[in-house]
Structure 1
Amino acid sequence: MADQAMKSLGSVLARQGILVAFILFMVSFTLWNPRFIDVDNVFGVIRSSAILGIMALGVTFVVIGGNLDLSVGSMLSFSAIVVLDLHENPAFGPALAIPAMFAMTLCLGAINGFLIGYLRLNSLIVTLGMLSAIHGLTLTYSGGQNMDIANQNETWFDVFGRGEALGIPIPVLIFLLLAAFLGIVLAKTPFGRKVYAVGGNGTAATFSGIPRARVVFMTYLISAFCVATAGLIQASRTMGAQNTVGQGMELEVLAAVILGGASLLGGSGTIFKTVIGVLILGFIQNGLLLAGLEFYVQFVVTWIIIILAVWLDIATKRGKLWSPIA
């Protein structure tokens, strides 16, 4: 009976190692500073992590499909600048600015999807090039200027970044609802199974009749949609944006996805674990801030905690703390 219980516990740990790491991390920081687990602090961390989290949801599809998307940071800058500029255009206003921004961002995602999915170009090279291209496009579009909404008290645009529903901040609500929806798409639909198949073995998936190019194309559209959503929240939260607001975020997004257990080789990962990865990053920064550590110390401690979390996840899956091949 005891052996069966231990096997069951080991099975749970093997499947949810990153969740165990997250719980241990939360308990440790709570013991260090009880304010860490305050409801207001928790909601504040989730709210501040919502933009990164929403972007990570889309990139999870791309990574599971066996590719990378390093253009999401500059794409976020583009989305925020465009929606703010069109908001101030009398011919658009917020009602038309939002769908127009989504359409333009999806076009950028479609370019990524076409080059990588249909032309079979390397995703690292393509999206790294798109990072620079979109950054240049953003600067050209904005004329190198930052964007702001002039009459902030006369618009409902701030509801996406500052509003609440049933006591829950709208950014948090959007993040959780989108995570639930995309989690179902990935885990319970034929399309989700095709994403796993393409990422696990693209050649075998093609011979099995799965339209690899179309699946890859769709993963980049999903990523672009998530970036547009994050851009809308970013612009609405601050009612303005710098043209470099998303610079560097592509690495944070990728770190959250990989921290959540997705493999860079493709074929593995879940939306739920990506959410955990996002929360780990958010709560690490918050916990170190409450601890009063200097910002340069926070970088080192954050790296150590991420390494320990990933190590625990891998160790629970293989049942050993050290690799059997040393």
Structure 2
Amino acid sequence: MLRLSKDEAIRFLGKQGILAAFVIFMLVFALAEAKFISADNVLSVIRSSAIIGVMALGVTFVVVSGNLDLSIGSMMSFSTIVVLDLHDKIGPVLAILAMFSLTLLLGALIGFLVGYLRLNSLIVTLGMLSAIHGLTLTYSGGKNMDISDKSSWFSFFGQDSVMGIPVPILIFALLAALLGIILSKTPFGRKIYAVGGNGTAATFSGISRSKTVFFCYLISSFCVATAGLIQASRSLGSQNTVGQGLELEVLAAVILGGASLLGGAGTIAKTVVGVLMLGFIQNGLLLMGLQFYVQFVVTWVIIILAVWLDIAGKRGKLWSPLA
């Protein structure tokens, strides 16, 4: 009979504890509500999780590099409003190009402040959260945006399907595959892990920490722009606060996937698992008749549990020793 020592058990919890908890959640939901595991419900959950998932892919790069990005919610609102506003003015193609360009500029600004000026990422992105929100309100004049031509091909990204698979799911899957290869199979990916694991050692090894962090934020902003495109295409209209609060869900999904807030650990594949875990847990709670606001409490509990298990797994102790 296989037995684990206390230290081995703690390390296992730090790596797989949340996954075990997810399996238990799934079993409970499946027993409580039969349609939870139906094909239609599963596809619906994955589709509704695509926007959070796409943003989480980019944030994974930032977190693995040892930083945070709390500006993604406001940035997604900005991207959505801009592409909707420009759609009727300059056409969908130019609107999409302009929206991606502006969003990448915001990402480059954050990357410059955190990467090259070495400012604290929490402070910078928290400040940018408010700044971009103000920019969005200023741009929109405090109004919501809608596309006049509801038959525009622009709806393809959020409403159509290819071979029975919703386009948002395909975008999420293709982007996950591409970024997964970049993070795990390329020299740039190895630099990200080195910078996040030990920035000083990485610098002495000839790795440019500043450039690496800068490009991580560019990747994150590209993913946010993609999420904004899906959101705008799905509804062909949006409130100017559509992304408000999403940074919490995205960060929760990334942490659930095993990325360490201390940097140097995390994968795209596990982030995808984290996104799906969060989506199915929220869906299960709704199917069981719990009000939507219960999701916020559950999300908070999951984040605290994930961070605790992550830190416990690294220090080898469930409880911090007294100073």
Q: If the length of structure 2 is used for normalisation, what is the TM-score?
A: 0.90
Within the alignment, does 1:27 sit opposite 2:27 as a pair? yes
* Contact 2:14–2:309 (8 Å) recurs in 1: no
Cα distance change, pair 44–13 in 1 and its aligned pair in 2 (3 A): same
Deviation at 1:247, TM superposition (A): 0.8
Q: How many residues align?
A: 319
Cα distance change, pair 75–305 in 1 and its aligned pair in 2 (3 A): closer
* Match in the other structure for 1:275: 272
* Match in the other structure for 2:144: 146
Cα distance change, pair 31–325 in 1 and its aligned pair in 2 (3 A): farther
Q: Supply the AA of the counterpart residue of 1:99.
A: L
The answer for unaligned runs of 5 or more in structure 1 is: none
Q: Supply the AA of the counterpart residue of 1:111.
A: L
Cα distance change, pair 86–298 in 1 and its aligned pair in 2 (3 A): closer
Cα distance in structure 2, aligned partners of 1:140 and 1:275: 34
C-alpha RMSD of the superposition:
2.5
* Contact 2:252–2:299 (8 Å) recurs in 1: no
Identical residues among aligned pairs (%): 73
Cα distance change, pair 310–28 in 1 and its aligned pair in 2 (3 A): farther
- Per-residue CA deviation, residues 5-24 of structure 1 (Å, 9 max, x unaligned), is 99xx9898775444333333
Q: If the length of structure 1 is used for normalisation, what is the TM-score?
A: 0.90
Ranges of 4+ aligned residues in structure 1 off by more than 6 Å: 9-14, 309-320
Deviation at 1:231, TM superposition (A): 0.1
* Contact 2:255–2:306 (8 Å) recurs in 1: no
Deviation at 1:286, TM superposition (A): 0.8
* Match in the other structure for 1:45: 45
* Contact 2:260–2:310 (8 Å) recurs in 1: no
- Per-residue CA deviation, residues 233-272 of structure 1 (Å, 9 max, x unaligned), is 0000000111111111111111111122111111111111
Q: Supply the AA of the counterpart residue of 1:23.
A: V
Within 5 Å, give how 1:1-326 maps onto structure 2.
2-3=1-2, 15-89=15-89, 92-153=90-151, 155-304=152-301, 322-323=318-319
The answer for unaligned runs of 5 or more in structure 2 is: none
SS for the counterpart of 1:158 is helix
Cα distance change, pair 280–306 in 1 and its aligned pair in 2 (3 A): farther
Q: Supply the AA of the counterpart residue of 1:247.
A: Q
Deviation at 1:25, TM superposition (A): 2.1
Q: Supply the AA of the counterpart residue of 1:29.
A: F
- Per-residue CA deviation, residues 94-149 of structure 1 (Å, 9 max, x unaligned), is 11111111111000000000111011111111111111111111111111111100
Cα distance in structure 2, aligned partners of 1:229 and 1:178: 10
Q: Supply the AA of the counterpart residue of 1:129.
A: G
Cα distance change, pair 206–317 in 1 and its aligned pair in 2 (3 A): closer
Cα distance in structure 1, aligned partners of 2:61 and 2:176: 12
Cα distance in structure 1, aligned partners of 2:316 and 2:37: 31
Cα distance in structure 2, aligned partners of 1:117 and 1:218: 9
Deviation at 1:186, TM superposition (A): 0.8
Cα distance change, pair 17–317 in 1 and its aligned pair in 2 (3 A): farther
Deviation at 1:314, TM superposition (A): 7.3
Deviates more, 1:92-101 or 1:36-45: 92-101
Cα distance in structure 2, aligned partners of 1:33 and 1:313: 31
Cα distance change, pair 17–270 in 1 and its aligned pair in 2 (3 A): farther
* Contact 1:16–1:313 (8 Å) recurs in 2: no
Cα distance change, pair 239–141 in 1 and its aligned pair in 2 (3 A): same
Cα distance in structure 2, aligned partners of 1:49 and 1:37: 16
- Per-residue CA deviation, residues 298-320 of structure 1 (Å, 9 max, x unaligned), is 44345445556666777888998
Cα distance change, pair 99–267 in 1 and its aligned pair in 2 (3 A): same
Deviates more, 1:168-177 or 1:25-34: 25-34
Cα distance in structure 2, aligned partners of 1:64 and 1:121: 17
